[in-house]
Amino acid sequence: MNPNLQGALLMMGSMAAFTMNDVFVKLLAETVPLFQIVFLRGVMTTVLLAATVAAFGKLTFRIPRGDRAKVALRTVFEVLTVVTFLTALVNMELANATAILAALPLVVTLGAALLFKEPVGWRRWTAIAVGASGVFLIVQPGTAGFNAYSLLALVAVFLVAGRDLSTRAFSNQVPLMSIAVLTAASVGAFGGIMSLTIEWVPMTGREIAYLAGSALFIIGGYVLSIFVMRVGDVAVTSPFRYTALVFALILGVVVFAEFPNALALTGAAIVVATGVFTLIRERQVARG
């Protein structure tokens, strides 16, 4: 198996894991308050992820002084992302929420151009504009299918972009796996604080199983996404990120009996197409 094929399979595995995490959270949120879920999943994720990283001898929290503010900013973005996206997820269709999140590569490209002065030609600016129209078709403001939580999912896209751009600014000395542990702990701590404002509910065995499934799949997504960066060409493996939308469409129908309308499917196709074009264009520019 060549490295690019390995990378593609790892990326698809990562996207499947993240989507399964979303499914478990959505199922759990039908009977359990969201902040109770965020706290308990955060505890499970932190313990399991820390144990995994420590087993590989990579657990260290020695962060260079110049990166500490960037790490703090990334953590804030991550906490806000979890709250906004999960709130949107439990109140809208799985495929639609995933499709809006698929606009991320376009937003990151825009942010990199504005913040880091990375060159973006007219072709990629056009792709960003076309991709925005695709998101508009998914959100569908002013129609019967419009859901205010669609806008919250869109806010989550910009927060994820902020997280990724903050990460891009890290020096090479930042221990990324340890940052993942720190982030999981921060998200769990925030969920714990916010859960004090709600009434907790006792959980059944099935709900605990859902919670454990969510924690395991999100860790699987983290680990596989890191392994992806070690094999194959990024320009080849990155487009397979869009398989998350395929998984979300299938699981949305099978688990929740959700059938996105034609406009949403058209918008999703536009977002995926423009995202793939952006990735291909970046590869061409890198080659000169």
Please report the pLDDT score of residue 227 as a whole number: 76
pLDDT tens digits, one per residue of 75-101: 999 999 999 999 999 998 888 888 888
The C-alpha angle 184, 188, 191, rounded to 5 degrees, equals 145
Please report the pLDDT score of residue 288 as a whole number: 59
The percent of residues above 70 in pLDDT, for the chain, comes to 88
pLDDT tens digits, one per residue of 64-74: 999 999 999 99
Residue range 128-148: average pLDDT?
Answer: 70
More reliable by pLDDT, 80 or 132: 80
More reliable by pLDDT, 132 or 101: 101
Q: Which of 158-162, 172-176, 193-197 has the highest mean pLDDT?
A: 193-197
Please report the pLDDT score of residue 230 as a whole number: 65
pLDDT tens digits, one per residue of 222-242: 788 777 766 766 556 766 777
Return the HEC string of the chain. Answer: CCHHHHHHHHHHHHHHHHHHHHHHHHHHCCCCCHHHHHHHHHHHHHHHHHHHHHHCCCCCCCCCHHHHHHHHHHHHHHHHHHHHHHHHHCCCCHHHHHHHHCCHHHHHHHHHHHHCCCCCCHHHHHHHHHHHHHHHHHHCCCCCCCCHHHHHHHHHHHHHHHHHHHHHCCCCCCCHHHHHHHHHHHHHHHHHHHHCCCCCCCCCHHHHHHHHHHHHHHHHHHHHHHHHCCCCCHHHHHHHHHHHHHHHHHHHHHHHCCCCCHHHHHHHHHHHHHHHHHHHHHHHHHHC
State the burial class of residue 256 (Cβ atoms within 10 Å of its Cβ: 0-12, 13-18, 19+).
Answer: middle
pLDDT tens digits, one per residue of 182-222: 988 999 999 999 999 999 999 999 999 999 999 999 988 87
CA 208 vs CA 32, 99, 192, 203: distances in Å? 10, 28, 17, 6
Please report the pLDDT score of residue 283 as a whole number: 64
The lowest-confidence range among 4-13, 171-180, 271-280 is 271-280
Residue range 141-160: average pLDDT?
Answer: 78
The percent of residues above 90 in pLDDT, for the chain, comes to 34
At 285, is the pLDDT very low, low, confident or very high (cuts 50, 70, 90)? low
* In the predicted structure, residue 156 carries a pLDDT above the cut 80: yes
